[in-house]
Structure 1
Amino acid sequence: MDDRTSKTAQPQAGASRPDPAHDPAHGPALVFFSGGTALRETARQLIRHTHNATHIITPFDSGGSSAELRRIFAMPAVGDIRNRLMALADLTAPGSRELFALFTYRLSRRESGPALRAELVRIAQGAHVLVSLVPEPARSHLMARFGLFLDAMPEDFDLRGASVGNVALTAGWLAHGRRLAPAIDEVAGLVSARGLVRPVVDGDMHLAAELEDGTVMKGQHRLTGKETGPIASPVARIWLTDSLDTAAPASVSMDESLADLIAKADLICYPVGSFYSSVVANLLPDGVGAAVARCPGPKVFVPNPGGDPELLGHGVERQAVLLRHYLAASGASCGACALDHILVDGRVPYPGGLDPARLAALGLRVIDRPLLADEPGRFDPVRLVRALVSLV
């Protein structure tokens, strides 16, 4: 999900230096269905191996500062997209570190509205220290974008905790006729992002879910429990809706150009992350499963060994069955053509259980590799990336 730390994130030293053993510009074409935070460190390591990965991100977040942008502008959520763009930034490129510092900066949560507006005005005028450090012509371009946002921002807009990167993406979305792809590419070009980032759909959609106890929840922020507390009953089903005001199911199709990228991938990955709100959410639009089924490469699920409050004890087998179910609903013609590999670390216990024999009986190839770091439940991003690339 959207990372909600304040102020400026610090890039890891050397995270963007390529592997000297090969040219990542000619690396494999990988596709990831994910949210923002869980795969962040993995994405930073991935660019050492390939610059040809496509990161398909859920634009359905309804909490944090994304909620205010969505309330005012009726737009997709951009926080997870910004998060992934920063993870893919090539920090060795001229000006990239200065832009990284600007885009990961957050306005204070404690200052008054007038003070926050005044700070955003300083950003738009180039008088803010973070903007002054950005080299030309990027500085002038961004000043114009922030000015555009200020012109469009109503007086009652709540700037507390606002991400400057989210503001930049929103301004680009407005400038490009309310289209997200060119706004993403604009920011990606500024930070020299080594990979393609796309929302699974470019529309103002929300998540809704029914729990096994009959409770119906509207909004991704309620499902994740980050703002309302964890869910008390397992998820029975999840779907898309047009608004937080209704739980009525809504149908939306993914863009055909994105479907073609999925179909032509060397490998598709359903990675670690919030199972329903990050991974399954990406599989809901019409056409996703059909595009996955067209891909001849391996389709790999990486379950979370550290536990996930959205799953409430579902084991790995149950998760695999659910992934196939939602992929079939969006067009996959068979289970095996939508998911055929499970990547696990058999040294550790998985919540809800891991039974390789039962997974194999479902036609899944179980790949057991050392994936975890010394910290319990936490992946070593280097090991995870190497394991995925080795399957291509």
Structure 2
Amino acid sequence: MASKASSHPSSPPGETTGNSDSSRRQGITVFSGGTAANSLVDLFNRIARPSSPRSITPTSSVSKNDSDGDHPQDENHPQQRQLNYIIPISDNGGSSSELIRFVGGPSVGDIRSRLVRLIPSNLTSRETSALRVLFEHRLSPDPIKARGEWAEIVESRSLLWAYISGEKKELIRSVLNILNAEIVKRARPPNVFNFAGASVGNMFLTGARLLTGSFEAGIYLLRMICEIPSWVRVLPAVNSNHTHHISAGWVNGEKGRRGVLTGQVAISHPSEPTSIPDEGVPVNFMGGGGVARLEDDDDEQGMPGSLPVLRRQNLKFSKEEEEDLPEGKGTRIERVWYINLYGHEIMPKANPEVLRELRERTEVVVYSVGSLYTSIVPSLILKEVGQAIETAEGIRKKVLILNSKLDRETRGMDASAFIKAIWRACVESRRPEDVEKMEWKRVVTHLVYIDPGQVEEERMKGDMPRVDVEYLERLGIRCAPVQGKAVGEGKARMMRYDEDELRETLERIINM
């Protein structure tokens, strides 16, 4: 049973407390996916910039004397922290899947989602609001209507361009038209691009990558156009112009069955059966470090793949109707790995900027809410990321914000299983022999979770991961319960963190 711990968690043994070291780094690095963690963006912004209002404000529009607190809002404010969002590029669902299928390159959907969410809310600027509307706009779900809508956008006839200045409009249009020309050039009827449900922001990022030859430069271009402040960064876990996919090995101990799920959609939200059964699956696919990995397979990533599941259109899938993992009850995901387009396990290099932030500027690591095995783990299994989290001397706190509801990937797991999965992801590639060790506090020092004691609905309480507070605290992991609130209706009804209390809890942990 989950027991209620103090909401003022103490520091692990030997951990420095207080803020006496004014010269220490003050960066916060958040590992997350796209949709789920978007709900916490304002919260993280307020923690990183304590004197700012709920929605981030571009520094260019803030006077040195403007403040909603006791201090001016300038870039050199002593309380200012660098905020980094680390997001994987392995999603092969939604409109990103069609861009990957037709044009190639990394998945841009989750990156775009976070960037658009970070566009400053400025009630006095119609252009800022118009840019947000443009980049989060999705074309019609009808392919014919969507193609016509796309033509109106690239030809500057769409009402979406209203209130966007001429110079920005022409810059954005030039990028979109580069992608449009590439789509036309690659079309070989009946194999044509399906515009249904396409995100304009995804199209822009892909076009910017084609224009500059750099995914990183494409992200910078969108940041510059939308005036996203410099103190917050969105970093792809892998900085690559190539497609990256993941596979997951599942095991059902009760039935003695194993298998492989190939592609992120197959792991998290499958639209049709995609599991490879255990017959014919190499045993070393499931092991820790026993696979002969390809250390850097960038050249092969751009070549046509032979796995049909990686060439499939995944435009339609449900995030609400979740079927169980193969073989049903008792099945769990054992590990996740990257594959090339032929299904071979590879070990991609992490984005150098991610490693630099972890080693040089990060004080606090946060594992945010979201899909454990498709939003968090894909970033942790990259080369040197786990090592940096575990060994960087400047990282004082490593906080897991536990999901308030179990999903397809984690059904049947408790909080300890979440932490163990993070530990495995961080150490498996370097020290596979340490996977079963209980040194979890090296990668997770604090656990934040919704207090089940104040959840009245038994069904919702049953959907929440159980937290054994006494067990985790014996391992040196401090636990902090937070109040929650019920949201949604029917099957979608769930508990969500009370934002103000979660912010206060995180600030208390960070400032110890």
Q: Is 2:155 aligned against 1:97?
A: no
Larger Rg: 2
Q: Distance in 1 between matches of 2:92 and 2:248?
A: 14
Spell out, residue by residue over 1:152-209, the C-alpha distance to the aligned partner (whole angstroms, 9 max, x if none). Answer: 11331111110000000101111111x2111112112222334200110023210101
Aligned-pair Cα RMSD in Å: 2.1
Partner letter of residue 196 of structure 1? R
Spell out, residue by residue over 1:351-372, the C-alpha distance to the aligned partner (whole angstroms, 9 max, x if none). Answer: 35211111112221112233x2
Partner letter of residue 236 of structure 2? P
Pairwise mapping of residues 13-92 of structure 1 onto structure 2 (< 5 A)? 28-50=26-48, 52-92=82-122
Q: Distance in 1 between matches of 2:136 and 2:47?
A: 24
Q: Is 2:442 aligned against 1:337?
A: yes
Q: Distance in 2 between matches of 1:292 and 1:176?
A: 32
Asked whether the 8 Å contact 2:87–2:111 carries over to 1, the reply is: yes
Q: Percent of aligned pairs with the same residue?
A: 24
Spell out, residue by residue over 1:118-161, the C-alpha distance to the aligned partner (whole angstroms, 9 max, x if none). Answer: 32232122211102331232111001111111111133111111
Spell out, residue by residue over 1:10-52, the C-alpha distance to the aligned partner (whole angstroms, 9 max, x if none). Answer: xxxxxxxxxxxxxxxxx95211111101111211333234363
Give the drift of 1:318: 1.3
Secondary structure at 1:234 match in 2: strand
1:318 match: 417
Q: 1:138 aligns with which of 164, 168, 171?
A: 168
Pairwise mapping of residues 349-360 of structure 1 onto structure 2 (< 5 A)? 349=461, 351-360=464-473
Secondary structure at 1:211 match in 2: strand
Secondary structure at 2:485 match in 1: coil
Q: Distance in 1 between matches of 2:375 and 2:474?
A: 27
Asked whether the 8 Å contact 1:206–1:240 carries over to 2, the reply is: yes
Asked whether the 8 Å contact 1:109–1:160 carries over to 2, the reply is: yes
1:162 match: 198
Q: 2:332 aligns with which of 218, 231, 234?
A: 234
Q: 2:250 aligns with which of 211, 233, 237?
A: 211
Q: Is 2:290 aligned against 1:196?
A: no
Q: Distance in 2 between matches of 1:340 and 1:360?
A: 10
TM-score norm. by structure 1 comes to 0.86
Q: Is 2:505 aligned against 1:387?
A: yes
Q: Is 2:347 aligned against 1:308?
A: no
Q: 1:148 aligns with which of 170, 178, 189?
A: 178
Partner letter of residue 176 of structure 1? T
1:258 match: 354
Q: Is 2:211 aligned against 1:175?
A: yes
Q: Distance in 1 between matches of 2:430 and 2:410?
A: 24
Q: Distance in 1 between matches of 2:104 and 2:358?
A: 28
Runs of 4 or more, structure 1, over 6 Å off, are none
2:382 match: 285
Asked whether the 8 Å contact 1:28–1:266 carries over to 2, the reply is: yes
Q: 1:110 aligns with which of 126, 142, 149?
A: 142
Asked whether the 8 Å contact 2:414–2:465 carries over to 1, the reply is: yes
Give the drift of 1:330: 4.8
Residue correspondences, number: 360
Spell out, residue by residue over 1:266-303, the C-alpha distance to the aligned partner (whole angstroms, 9 max, x if none). Answer: 21111111111111121111111122121422000111
Structure 2: gaps spanning 5 or more residues? 1-24, 50-81, 252-256, 273-322, 456-460, 488-493
1:299 match: 398
